[in-house]
């Protein structure tokens, strides 16, 4: 099982992983340069299960190419309160 997830603070971060809880801990511990500086203000906005890595990567690319991730979330009714 793979997951595509979106983190939000002032910007959005879209990625995929095969272990969502482990990946969140890696972000929190600072294993990721992009999020370690701002982890206290990061919110997991959305995540979606995919059956395999190929599907997860395709969805990740689709979201990233949508230009406006927030608009994509609103169109899909995935916006969560922060």
Of the ranges 10-19, 34-43, 51-60, the best mean pLDDT one: 51-60
Domain boundaries, the chain: 2-75
Using the predicted structure, report yes or no on whether residue 81 has a pLDDT greater than 80.
no
Q: State the average pLDDT for the chain.
A: 80
Distances (CA, A) of 1 to 20, 46, 53, 64: 10, 16, 8, 21
CATH, domain 2-75, list 3.40.630, 1.20.120, 3.40.1440, 3.40.50: 3.40.1440
Which pTM was predicted?
0.76
Instruction: Indicate the range of 28-32, 37-41, 66-70, 71-75 predicted with least confidence.
Output: 37-41
The stretch 51-71 carries a mean pLDDT of: 86
Confidence of residue 78 (pLDDT cuts 50, 70, 90): low
């Amino acid at each position: 099982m793979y997951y595509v997830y979106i983190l939000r603070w002032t910007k959005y971060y879209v990625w995929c992983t095969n272990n969502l809880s482990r990946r969140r801990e890696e972000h929190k511990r600072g294993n990721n340069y992009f999020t370690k500086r701002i982890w206290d203000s990061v919110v997991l906005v959305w995540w979606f299960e995919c059956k395999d890595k190929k599907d997860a990567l395709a969805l990740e690319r689709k979201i990233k190419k949508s230009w406006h991730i927030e608009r994509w979330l609103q169109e899909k009714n995935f916006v969560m309160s922060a």
